[in-house]
Chain A
């Protein structure tokens, strides 16, 4: 019953700009939240070639594409999303 999908772009541009570290973030959430959160890597979202989309790395959370994502900002976003579900 996963309700938040976190798709981390692991295309080259995003990977170079730190996406590999974002993937390891899934270990930071307790198992109960793990059931709600589903992490997966995804191919290039084509945002990297469009300057209006902002900076790599890109992550899609429930369909919304976030840019310049860091471990710090993604943690915040996900905690926020989890709060909303409660």
Chain B
């Protein structure tokens, strides 16, 4: 997560919406919410209260589970979307939506002449530009219609007066899946998106929002059905409290049972270790992990050459959900996730009914005024091997496999800790260039799931906290 004002506003909105949901007043009161959050004379970070309110309205539409771009009638109040969410039975695999009123503030052309321009006589910038896009009017000026974003002028200026101004979401996307449409609004290309959530975190306007199942989940909690929560291992790093208390707090929200995905992680380790040993016997050069859904999407969409080396073992969430549904086929399973990618994975898993993020869990706790430290200790599943809880940080999966392996000394691991240009290159070259390594652990977020886009606290704090329950 990235700590900034956009994130604080989103959390406030989530908590207020959760409160209304629990109190059964969402439909009745949601239309007023933007007004309540931004009263007439409030100080704004955007141009005026009306814009701020509009952004909140469309953010709420996203949170209710709808794509902002699907809006047909601008006059339709949020309360109607609440009704639609309540009646809804079909969902899609589109997880993110762009709040267009919040977007469009970023540059189309990334090169900007700053006031450091000395209006020099030589003006090498105009000589460097192949498109004749720069003219001198006192200061150098870039014509946005003819500029092609090549950056030659930046290299040519001896005063460093021309800068590159990035578009945060585009810059952060490792697979170039987000770009502007004809109106200058960012558009996510679903055929390329790998659900890493970078754009969501990086947009300082809060223009990208995650669609949620909060309406469906709170309704299930009220319905009298058995609702079971399974949470990703990274959750134990999100609060300062012990696992017993965190589990108790989730139960207090209304979940009938709370299961650690660390249990399924043990199953993943068991299978992955066997698979690894088998593959090595067959003479394969190396194997990569498969627990990060965003990574397996990356391989699927961008690195097909790597596919034969990716482990076929299922993810911890897969085994956990399978266990829960085997025991209780009629219950509703909610997966509490640290990132968008796990939400996407959940959509394709028939044993998982809904996913909700750590942030949404936080919002529910706030809405229900649950103080974790005051909860009566619940019992933890003592059959869980602690290394399963370590799946959420870089090195944790490799560690776990080593602990389960017959010959740990034969495992020579490389850790791909977070995806960026250089690790992407490394991955691409792995089949040719893996040195003597035979086990490649891949996590798309730097530091692992403790740094997922939907986490509540910064990854350093979370890591320190999680390590307490692994060691």
Contact = CB atoms under 8 A, between A and B. Distances in A.
A67 B173 CA distance: 35
A17 B366 contact: yes
A78 interface: no
Contacts of B12: 17, 55
A55 to B, nearest CB: 7
Interface in A51-66: 55-56
Given A11-B373, A21-B458, A16 B362 contact: yes
* Dominant SS among interface residues on chain B: helix
A43 B374 CA distance: 10
A15 interface: yes
Interface residues of A, number: 20
Contacts of B15: 16-17
B20 interface: no
Interface string A10-29: 11110111101100100000
B373 A12 contact: yes
A36 interface: no
Contact of B461 (A11, A16, A17, A20): A20
A5 interface: no
Contact of B369 (A18, A24, A41, A48): A48
A38 interface: no
Contacts of A20: 456-458, 461
B363 interface: yes
A7 to B, nearest CB: 15
B107 interface: no
Contacts of A48: 366, 369
A44 interface: yes
Interface residues of B, number: 23
B363 A16 contact: yes
Contacts, number: 56
Given A11-B371, A12-B366, A12-B371, A17 B3 contact: no
A43 B12 CA distance: 21
Contacts of A16: 11, 15, 362-363, 365-366, 456
Nearest to A20: B457
Contacts of A21: 3, 457-458
Quick one: which of B249, B362, B366, B370 has the most chain A CB within 10 A?
Answer: B366
Contacts of B362: 16
B239 A44 contact: no
B105 interface: no
Contacts of A56: 366
A82 interface: no
Nearest to A57: B8
Interface of B: 3, 5, 8, 11-12, 15, 239-240, 249, 362-363, 365-366, 369-374, 456-458, 461
Interface of A: 10-13, 15-18, 20-21, 24, 41, 43-44, 48-49, 55-56, 70-71
Given A15-B240, A21-B458, 9 more contacts: A12-B249, A12-B365, A13-B365, A13-B369, A15-B239, A24-B461, A41-B240, A56-B366, A70-B5
